[in-house]
Each structure stands twice: as C-alpha cells, then as structure tokens.
Amino acid sequence: MTGSPKNSAYAEAGVDIDAQDRALDRVKELARSTHTPGVLTEIGSFGGLFLPDLTGLREPVLVASADGVGTKLMVARMAGDYSGVGRDLVNHCVNDILVQGARPLFFLDYVGAGVLEPAAMAELVSGVAVGCRENGCALLGGETAEMPGFYQPGDYELVGFVVGLVDRPAILDGRRIRPGQVLIGLPSSGLHTNGYSLVRRIVFDRLGLEPETAAPWGGGTVASELLTPHRSYLAALQSLLADPVLTGLAHITGGGLTDNLPRILPAGCRAEVDLGAWRVPEIFRFLQRAGEVAWEEMLQVFNLGIGMVVVAEDESVMATLEAAGEAPIRLGKILEGPPGVAYRGDFGDS
C-alpha cells in the first residue's frame, strides 16, 4: 500500500504528519548549517553520531545539561515572534556547562506543540541553529512532538540538551575557591530567561500593557525588551578557562545571586557582594516599583544586570575580560563563613 489516505484517522485526531514532514525538511537544512567536523550523521537517524576531537586532553570528561526557556515562550506567543527564543535556549545551556569549564560539542532540542505550524516550528529551530553556530556547537538531533489535547493550539514547549567537553584537571568545581579571592560580574543583556511569570503578572496583568506598547522603562517596545536574547559568555570567557587565576564561575539564572553563587562555594567560604558596585538596569527598577517587589526578593528572582560571576585569585582577570570586549564589575570578595551570600550597602544610583 502506497501513499496516505486523504483524510487519515491520525489527521482527524489532530496530528498532521504531512505538516511534520514539511517542518522536518526545513529543520534538516537548519541543522546542516551548524555542523562541525565531529558530526557523522544527518538529522533523521534514530540517534546522532558525534566524534569528538580529544587532542591534548589527558582525561576528557563529558559535561551535559538540559534546560528550557520557561514562560518567555508565552511572551513570544503574544508578540507573534519566536525568532529569538531558540537562541536563548542554546545560550542558557552553553553557560550552564561553561561554568564547569566545558566547551560545547553538540546540542539537541525538543519542540512540543498542540497543533504543529510549520512556519512557527521553523522560526523556533532557526533560533536554535543561530545559537549553535554562534557557540560553535552542532545541532545534532532532536524531537518534534505534536500532541493535541495535551498542548493547546498555539502553545509550544521548547527544551534543549547540550553536551560539552572538559579535561578533568581543568574542571571548575569550586575546590580552589578560597577566602580573599575576588568576585567579578559580567553584565547581562536583560532578563535572560528567568522571572517571566512574575514579569507577565506585573507588565500584562497588573499594568495592562501590550507587546507593541513602548516600554515605560525605555528602549524599544515591551515585546522587544522582554524578548532580548539571553547572552552566551563563551566568547568572553574561553580564553580565561586555561588561566589558573580563574577559580570559579556562576551563571546567574533563576534564583539570582542569592541562590546561584552558593552553588559553587566550598565549605568555609561565603560571598560578600557590594550592592552599590553596579547600576541595576532600569527594567529591573521598573519591575520592582510597579510590582511592589522587595529588593530581597528581586535578588532571588532576577539577575539584576549580572549574568555571570567570575571568582578569581586577584583582579588581574579584569584586564583579560576587558580585552575580550567586556565591562567587568568588581562585585565583592570571598570571606570565611558558611556558604551563602552576604550583601552590603544598597542599590544606589551609581
């Protein structure tokens, strides 16, 4: 039996295999644009094959991570713009393995939908492909799931999985962090991919703003500001990974500085952060005022303008980061004490 019925039972149940095939053809093109020398298979195989280059590594260790973009997808849906969330996803995952000293090898994605729209699907995966190319990793495979009745029409789920490589002696696991070392912050590009449930409640539910409204905190429209891509810090930090002055990295995601810095601190070490060391971007100040959110909670929900924290033996890393085009911020230092974050000062206008 050849071909498929004009009105198949599966299509009547809400799953359009032809639409999936059209979307997959575009995905194959996008994935091919990210291929690196290690890729041995095309999209469509049951599993993706990758041959890593282990030259110069004494004890190669694979580092893997999975994440999503949360309800930032709902903002993308409201704006009708899915072009950037795939890039968000890749950058978030790359940062999560970067903090352990790993460089990315390949990436896998999962796209779930109630009703698959090939154009939206292509836009989502196009963003993933852009992120992969920018980070030098291959989009090796993934999964597209059309599940009517589970996801509602217009709903999308986007999840990513990254695998990277690090030499075991070069793993950043916090063991070399000591009292007296310095904390250096790298600026975020905005909200990144965290806190959007609270943001939507303030911006859309409480204030009644629309995606196309001019953002009251400045910049572009509400949509363009909220959909600003999550930064990748790979380019800024990869030259520093081999420098023994570097002792730790913390990606400031959900949980903010309050919850993410302690994740890398060994016993007997405590982070002290000077709240007056940087100017909190206006978008966060606006959300704090409009939502009547305590600064203590803001520090635990948002990055507040600091997307990555570098722990180093001394301030010599500042010059390296500046040479990489960064604007590093001297945040504070490591003290003796139980793992946690101690804040001093307050958020001024400097």
Quick: pLDDT tens for 133-175. Answer: 999 999 999 998 888 889 888 888 999 999 999 999 999 999 9
d(CA 261, CA 146): 38
Q: 201-260: per-residue pLDDT in tens?
A: 999 999 999 999 999 999 999 999 999 999 999 999 999 999 999 999 999 999 999 999
Average pLDDT of the segment spanning 80-106:
97
**CB contact at 8 A, 192 and 90:** no
User: Is the pLDDT at 306 greater than 90, yes or no?
Assistant: yes
User: Is the pLDDT at 10 greater than 50, yes or no?
Assistant: yes
Average pLDDT of the segment spanning 303-327:
95
Do strands 138-146 and 103-113 pair parallel, antiparallel, or not at all (unpaired)? parallel
Question: What residue ranges in 171-293 does DSSP mark as E strands?
Answer: 182-187, 246-251, 269-274
Residue 157 pairs with which residues in a beta bridge? 112
Q: What is the pLDDT of residue 213?
A: 96
Average pLDDT of the segment spanning 308-333:
95
Q: What is the amino acid identity at position 111?
A: V
User: Is the pLDDT at 274 greater than 50, yes or no?
Assistant: yes
Q: At 115, is the pLDDT very low, low, confident or very high (cuts 50, 70, 90)?
A: confident
Average pLDDT of the segment spanning 287-304:
97
User: Is the pLDDT at 56 greater than 70, yes or no?
Assistant: yes
Q: What is the pLDDT of residue 27?
A: 79
H/E segment holding residue 309: strand 306-312
Choice among 138-152, 160-174, 276-290, 325-339 with the minimum mean pLDDT = 138-152
Q: At 129, is the pLDDT very low, low, confident or very high (cuts 50, 70, 90)?
A: very high
Q: What is the pLDDT of residue 1?
A: 45
Question: What CA–CA distances, in Å, run from 221 to 63, 86, 87, 194?
Answer: 38, 20, 20, 19
Q: What is the pLDDT of residue 152?
A: 84
User: Is the pLDDT at 52 greater than 60, yes or no?
Assistant: yes
**% residues pLDDT > 70 (the chain):** 93
Look at residues 127, 332, 293 and name the one whose alpha carbon lies nearest to residue 201: 293
Six-digit token pair at 290?
């409009």
Choice among 8-17, 279-288, 339-348 with the minimum mean pLDDT = 8-17
Question: What CA–CA distances, in Å, run from 252 to 84, 295, 296?
Answer: 20, 16, 15
Q: What is the pLDDT of residue 42?
A: 85
d(CA 334, CA 310): 11
d(CA 118, CA 223): 23
Average pLDDT of the segment spanning 115-126:
88
Q: At 11, is the pLDDT very low, low, confident or very high (cuts 50, 70, 90)?
A: low
Q: What average pLDDT is seen over the chain?
A: 92
Q: Which residue has the higher pLDDT, 120 or 52?
A: 52
Order of all β-strands in the sheet with 306-312: 246-251, 306-312, 182-187, 329-336, 269-274, 341-344
**% residues pLDDT > 90 (the chain):** 80
Q: At 350, is the pLDDT very low, low, confident or very high (cuts 50, 70, 90)?
A: very low
User: Is the pLDDT at 326 greater than 80, yes or no?
Assistant: yes
Q: Which of 250-287 are b and which e, b meaning 16 or more Cβ less than 10 Å from the residue's Cβ?
A: bbbbbbbbbbbbbebbeeebbbebbbebbebbebbbbb
